């Protein structure tokens, strides 16, 4: 009873976090990922695709593509439809259309380690090897979203259904035009080479770092956090090879090796990984899934 009253009060005051309790509409599109997997970059890419004539910054990204974990239920209810919403939630059958961004967990753990230092959730002297064990065993502050394997695995089960697009962070880095073209097609928005190029330029890591330096003190996700550790990281892949101890790499791979290989990530000590075509075929997110996807309401956002 008391909990229910407190929840109602937080809702009325706009001090709650929508999270998994948000109201979902049938014209919603969700950008979903496990934390530190490229979700913020994807938000900027999508925002710059659907609003090519506007200047997308940290000052207005929450209005364009709100964060369900940072904004209140009332804020999201007042966001004009059709909405594109960012979240880290594990599988939710209510989400009608999903862009799921996945990243190599060996790089995710490094980015998450720095993120939690920035948020003062762990100290600079926290042993990285210990953090890897906490990451693997679900003992991080994000435990409610599951471990990396639980979060990713819950959404992969939906890959064969319409209205789902799986995007690898590494592919966005190595072939951004191709991958952003897939995203644009999924959203039903124009994807000419010029539009894709402009969206990529306006969402570059360097520009986002500049925006963070200028606006980070006011953005909901970085306000009041350490300024000496950037929220926008290295925007690279494979750093784990130089920064993780072999036993830490083994710990991650022993836990999630099969799902990593399914996604095309090469395990340490193996000579080859899944080819891109095999990856697309296994996860059922290639052209067949996209062709079956229902007509996207996101195109209306350009009007």
Q: What DSSP string describes the chain?
A: -HHHHHHHHHHHHT-S--GGG----TT-EEEEESTTSSHHHHHHHHHHHH-TTS---TTTHHHHS-BTTTS-HHHHHTSPSSPEEEE-----TT-SSEEEEE--HHHHHHHHHHHHHHTTSS-TTS-HHHHHHHHHTT-STTGGG--HHHHHHHHHTTTTSSSEEEEEHHHHHHSHHHHHHHHHHHHT----HHHHHHHHHHT-HHHHHHHHHHHTTTSTTTTTS-SSS-SS----S-THHHHS-HHHHHHHHHHHHHHHHHTTPPPTT-S----HHHHHHHHT-SHHHHHHSPPPGGGGGG-
Letter string b/e over residues 219-234, b meaning 16 or more CB atoms within 10 A of that residue's CB: bebbeebeeeebbbbe
Supply the angle between the helices 148-156 and 246-262 in degrees, to the nearest 10: 10
CA distance 24 to 85: 10
Our count of domains for the chain comes to: 1
Torsional sign, CA 45, 49, 50, 55 = positive
pLDDT, tens only, 126-152: 999 999 999 999 999 888 999 999 999
**Pairing, β 84-87 against β 29-33:** parallel
CA distance 56 to 37: 20
Domain that holds residue 30: 2-302
pLDDT, tens only, 145-180: 999 999 999 999 898 889 999 999 999 999 999 999
Give the global pTM: 0.87
pLDDT above 60 (res 237): yes
**Percent of the chain, pLDDT > 90?**
74
Could you tell me the CATH number of the domain that includes residue 121?
3.40.50.300
What backbone phi and psi angles, to 5 degrees, belong to 20?
Answer: -75, -10
Window from 60-64, 244-248, 275-279 with minimum mean pLDDT: 275-279
Identify the pLDDT of residue 278: 53
Q: Across residues 222-247, what is the average pLDDT?
A: 92
Contacts of 132 (CB under 8 A, 6+ apart): 109, 244, 248, 251, 252
Identify the pLDDT of residue 143: 87
**Percent of the chain, pLDDT > 70?**
84
pLDDT above 80 (res 88): yes
HSE, side-chain direction, 13 A CA sphere, residue 131? 25
pLDDT above 50 (res 97): yes
């Amino acid at each position: 009873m008391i909990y229910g009253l407190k929840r109602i009060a937080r809702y009325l005051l706009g001090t709650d976090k929508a999270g998994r309790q948000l109201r979902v509409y049938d014209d919603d599109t969700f950008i979903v990922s496990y934390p530190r997997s490229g979700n913020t970059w994807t938000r900027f890419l999508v925002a710059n695709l659907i609003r090519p004539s506007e200047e997308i910054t940290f000052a207005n990204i929450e209005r364009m593509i709100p964060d369900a974990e940072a904004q209140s239920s009332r804020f999201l209810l007042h966001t004009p439809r059709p909405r594109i919403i960012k979240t880290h939630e594990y599988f939710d059958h209510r989400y009608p259309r999903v862009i799921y961004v996945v990243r190599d967990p060996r790089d995710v753990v490094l980015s998450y380690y720095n993120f939690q230092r920035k948020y003062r959730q762990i100290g600079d002297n926290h042993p990285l090897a210990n953090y890897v064990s906490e990451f693997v065993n679900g003992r991080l502050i994000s435990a409610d979203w599951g471990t990396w394997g639980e979060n990713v695995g819950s959404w992969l089960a939906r890959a064969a259904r319409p209205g789902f697009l799986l995007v690898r962070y590494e592919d966005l880095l190595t072939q951004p035009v191709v991958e952003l073209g897939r995203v644009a097609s999924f959203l039903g928005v124009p994807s000419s080479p010029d539009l894709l190029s402009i969206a990529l330029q306006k969402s570059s890591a360097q520009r986002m770092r500049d925006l963070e330096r200028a606006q980070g003190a006011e953005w909901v996700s970085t306000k009041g956090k350490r300024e000496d550790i950037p929220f926008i990281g290295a925007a690279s892949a494979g750093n784990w090879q130089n920064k993780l101890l072999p036993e830490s790499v083994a710990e991650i791979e022993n836990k999630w090796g099969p799902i990593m290989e399914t996604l095309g990530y090469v395990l340490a000590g193996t000579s080859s990984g899944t080819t891109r075509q095999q990856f697309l075929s296994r996860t059922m997110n290639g052209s067949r899934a996209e062709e079956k996807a229902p007509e996207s309401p996101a195109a209306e956002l350009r009007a």
